[in-house]
Amino acid sequence: MEYRRLGKTGLEVSVVGMGCWGLSGGLGHVSQAQANATVHAAIDAGVTLFDTADAYGPRLSELMLGKALHGVRDQVLIATKVGQIGWNTGHLLSYESVEHVHNCCDASLYRLGTDVIDIYQCHQPNPAHPEVLVEAFEQLIQAGKIRSYGVSTDDPAVLQAFDARGGNGVCQLGYSALNRTAERELLPLCADRDIGTLVRVPLERGILTGKFDRDTVFDDMNRSAWNDAARAEFLAQLDAADQMRPLTNARRSLTQVSLAYLLAHPAVTSVIPGMKTPEQARGNAAAADVALTADELQMIREIPEAATVPLGASGKPIDRSPT
């Protein structure tokens, strides 16, 4: 495993972290025993970063992760999120109050079974009142309840708003071999401001694991918006992913090649693919040992992008045309 400095936070994190949404049952039931086994397999493979959110479940992912880390909390870093409204979260307030953010943090600390959160992130990609969240985050740092803060967004303007005081240390962003939008503006902005990056959805919701084909049928649990447009997008993603298969061999899977592509970018600190089994944890962690050549990286860059277009602060799609 390789470890990198997480921007201005100064924290050292594994280049492959564990995304914990799957622990909440979003892709099928996960028992506490399975969660424990997966988390410990990840730790044994060198993973030190675990990313969750109060909205996952809701609350269930934090609870399960806290139990899984019992006895090993001091060996890892915990990242969680606050601020998601609706989406079955139970949060109906709009985070216009610093006190509301404080209360959410206290609840996350309790569920995680810890006295400090290493990385506390805004979960709304474009909150109405970023200044309220930043004020709360800075107060929580002073209180010793969090060590650093950041925002989960794909919009450079939102990131700039959170870093207006210069204290935003982390940006969690969508980025994959099939969606390279972040390479054009967001990642350079993070590098310029010394903001560490955590890459979410690095495997395009399973497309880059190689486990799907053109005959795959999804149910409402994992593709809730399944319609003609979604089907066409899915097939385009499969075609793009197939163009990466020549880069795989007996020693490196499509998953590992896909993660290695992201880790080759100098502004990427860590990727956080979902993991719900020990086998997935070990396989994902092994991506840290895969090095792609300059020619292989260029081959991937020449593959047409095929991913859902991210939305900007205005609610309009971010321009994905090459620059």
Q: Which residues are catalytic?
A: 56
What's the half-sphere exposure (Cβ side, CA atoms, 13 Å) at 53?
Answer: 26
Q: Print burial letters for 287-322: b (CB count within 10 Å at least 16), e (below 16).
A: bbebebeeebbebbeebebbbbebebeeeeebeeee
The C-alpha atoms of residue 223 and residue 292 are separated, in whole angstroms, by: 32
Indicate the residue type of 256.
Answer: Q
Separation of CA 65 from chain center: 16
Nearest to 15 by CA among 319, 323, 291, 301: 291
Task: Name every residue whose Cβ is closer than 8 Å to that of residue 187 and which is 6 or more positions away in sequence.
Answer: 173, 175, 197, 265, 267, 268
Sheet arrangement for strand 18-19 = 18-19, 49-51, 77-82, 119-122, 149-152, 170-174, 196-200, 270-271
Q: In this structure, are residues 49 and 76 in contact, taking their beta carbons and an 8 Å threshold? A: yes
**DSSP of 284-303:** HHGGGG----HHHHHHHHTS
SS3 241: helix
The C-alpha atoms of residue 110 and residue 223 are separated, in whole angstroms, by: 32
The C-alpha atoms of residue 234 and residue 90 are separated, in whole angstroms, by: 31
SS3 247: helix
Tokens for 160, please give them. Answer: 């700039």
